[in-house]
A and B are shown apart, each in its own frame.
Chain A
Amino acid sequence: MRWMQVLTLALLATPVGLAAQNGGVTRLPGRVPAAALPAIDSIIATAVAESLPTEPLVQKALEGSAKNIPVDRLVNGVRRGLLQLRQARAILTQAVPGQSPPEGHIAAVAAALARGLSGPIVERLLTVAPTEPPGPALHAAADLIAHHFDPDSATDLLVEAHNKGLRGVRLLDVAVAADHELQRPGGRTPSEALAHVRAILPNVPVPRRP
């Protein structure tokens, strides 16, 4: 059963690389409503012209079509994605001046913006680790803020965790540890939970393999 799923996913993933050369638009006909195709093609062509990643836009078009979203809202959703990609590149350019940001970093920052992270928080985390993939740190911050931790205090904790050697997905463990402290019986406040995790850095628990 699982082999079949992996095989299917692999077969689905194969065209992704091939389609990336033309912005992925060849995956859209037949799946996206014909009425939406011209507008979406235009948005993706704009992304290509601006050297922005197109895969998030293709995914958004496929998602909206699968959900039977009306055409106008579907096109608006893809356009909103383009705007987030532009904003993401602007933040990256400001945080890490002098180099063209990789597409993966742009997509990660755009995803963080979609999760509600503010520009200044994103920029601060990018500045701490300018050459590392920003996704895990940004998601860790978004996780903490989603659990009602103070955004600035949460960012401070993540910066300190990075300074003490935690990288990549281990930063997600920092957010998990803070949340566990918050849920612990006895009633820790968010600031107490953050302080506890800060005290044990960098030795936050590692989650078990599923």
Chain B
Amino acid sequence: MSPIDPRLQEALDGERDPGELPADLGEAYARLISAAQLLAATPPASVAARVMAEIRQTPLPVPVQPEGPMYRMARWLTRPRAVTVRLRLAWTLALAAGLAAILLLPSAPGPTPGATEGIANFVGHFPGAQSVEVVGSFNDWSRGTLHLSDDDHDGVWRGGAVLPAGQHEYMFVVDGERWVPDPLAGRYVDDGFGAGQQNSLLIVRPVAAQP
């Protein structure tokens, strides 16, 4: 530390008139007094502190919320909670095996036809229909056993079934009341009831006879 001039020290202590100091000491005296005044003053609050203080003082608008049981349940469900998951090794391995089975194994192939059975696929174009089903000799002409579906709503109805090999007569029933021959059947036979109506004819090949 550099020694301070005794005359400057006396002026700072109030024991000497600062006006009697030489010019260089007078300037040093003035700087020291300014610094002392700056340190003695209360420092202004920082900008961040002022902003936070402003936010704390501003009251938040409180929405009017119902306090019914559904609201309380929703609030209970959405309230943040700390959840701790402890995976044991056995459970972890089982979970991994299950996921691998789902991701890696091929999807279920569906029913497998026997040696004397074959697969029949039905397709019909019925735009605007609400339901289409296949009724025929393979289901005793019973309703509700073989429905076609139109998943993409393009009017094309599809379905399939495993049927005994051989000849089957059938018709489509559209919207539960309209009996329509399969326009794609390729084979038809008079239904024998005297009105000239034709059944579609399907010949199912045994799966063993197909390449």
Interface residue from A66, A73, A142, A168 paired with B209 (Cβ < 8 Å): A168
A208 closest partner in B (C-beta): B211
Cβ-defined contact, B141 with A146, below 8 A: no
Cβ-defined contact, B179 with A67, below 8 A: yes
Considering residues B119, B164, B166, B211, which has the most beta carbons from chain A within 10 angstroms of its beta carbon?
A: B166
Cβ-defined contact, B137 with A12, below 8 A: no
Could you tell me the distance in whole angstroms from the C-beta of A113 to the nearest C-beta in chain B?
10
Cβ-defined contact, A2 with B160, below 8 A: yes
Could you tell me the distance in whole angstroms from the C-beta of B26 to the nearest C-beta in chain A?
104
Q: Is B84 an interface residue (CB 8 A)?
A: no
Taking CB atoms, residues of chain A closer than 8 Å to B205 are: 169, 172
- Say what secondary structure dominates the interface of chain A: helix
Q: Is B135 an interface residue (CB 8 A)?
A: yes
Interface residue from A8, A60, A115 paired with B201 (Cβ < 8 Å): A115
Chain A interface size, as a band, is: 35 or more
Number of interface residues of B (CB under 8 A): 46
Cβ-defined contact, A9 with B139, below 8 A: yes
**Chain A residues at the B interface, C-beta cutoff of 8 Å:** 1-3, 5-6, 8-9, 12-13, 16, 27, 59-60, 62-67, 69, 73-74, 76-77, 80-81, 108, 111, 114-115, 135-136, 139, 142-143, 146, 168-170, 172, 206-210
**Chain B residues at the A interface, C-beta cutoff of 8 Å:** 110-111, 119-121, 135, 137-143, 145-146, 149, 159-164, 166-167, 169, 179, 186-195, 197, 199, 201, 203, 205-207, 209-211
